[in-house]
Amino acid sequence: MKTIKRYPNRKLYDTGESRYITLEEIATFLRGGGEVRVVDSRSGEDITSVTLAQVLVGEEKRSRPILPGQRLMSMLQSGGDFLKVKLAPVASLKDEAEKTVQRLMHAEAAEEFKEFLTGTQRAYDDLQKRADDRFQTVLAAVRNIAPIHKELEFLRREVRGLSERVKTLESRPPAAPGTTRKARADN
């Protein structure tokens, strides 16, 4: 939470960043999800709500209405009742969540939760085992391919060598009739 001091000259000082800050910067900070606390520099009084009202006015002036005018009037007319009505579902949801947590903490719910986690862990382990088995199968296939690949490469070299020998032999002129193989090879 950002703490801001408001001085008598109406300047706002961000104590965390050690610098002066504007209402517009506060609005931007709040839109980003931040929280602020504004205190009077002399009295130490919390004046957050007054400053936030000024931020609302500033946003309205800049044509960035945060709340429609009718809703603002309704809020002011009803006082805190408006917020209580609007926040009641949130409080109810919080109560339900707390009840669920309490139920889970009891022995029966804890046992059910434990069984759920155990079942999930078993399913995960089974999936992991199947993945490992498939990986081992693929790895074994790759290992078997390596010797075959070497043999194939050897055969390719042999075929190339034989092709070159055939070309060499075909490029020689035909031998005269009656000459021996040895005489032909010596040519």
At 39 the three-state DSSP class reads strand
Q: Grade residue 39 by pLDDT with cuts at 50, 70 and 90.
A: very high
Tens digit of pLDDT for each residue in 135-178? Answer: 666 666 656 666 777 788 889 999 999 999 999 988 888 777 76
Averaged pLDDT of the chain: 77
Nearest-angstrom CA–CA distance, 46 and 39? 4
Q: What is the pLDDT of residue 84?
A: 61
Higher pLDDT, 34 or 117: 34
Q: In the predicted model, what is the mean pLDDT of residues 63-86?
A: 61
Highest-confidence segment of 7-16, 67-76, 172-181: 7-16
Q: What is the pLDDT of residue 124?
A: 77
Q: In the predicted model, what is the mean pLDDT of residues 75-98?
A: 62
Q: In the predicted model, what is the mean pLDDT of residues 13-27?
A: 92
Tens digit of pLDDT for each residue in 100-118? Answer: 666 666 656 567 777 777 7
pTM value is 0.39
Beta-ladder partners of 4: 14, 38
Please check the confidence at residue 64 and state whether its pLDDT lies above 60: no
Nearest-angstrom CA–CA distance, 155 and 131? 36
Higher pLDDT, 79 or 37: 37
41 CB-near residues (< 8 Å, 6+ apart): 5, 6, 7, 8, 13
Number of H helices, E strands in the chain: 6, 4
Q: Do 14 and 4 contact (CB within 8 A), yes or no?
A: yes
Show me where the domains of the chain are located: 2-100
Q: What is the pLDDT of residue 142?
A: 58
Please check the confidence at residue 14 and state whether its pLDDT lies above 90: yes
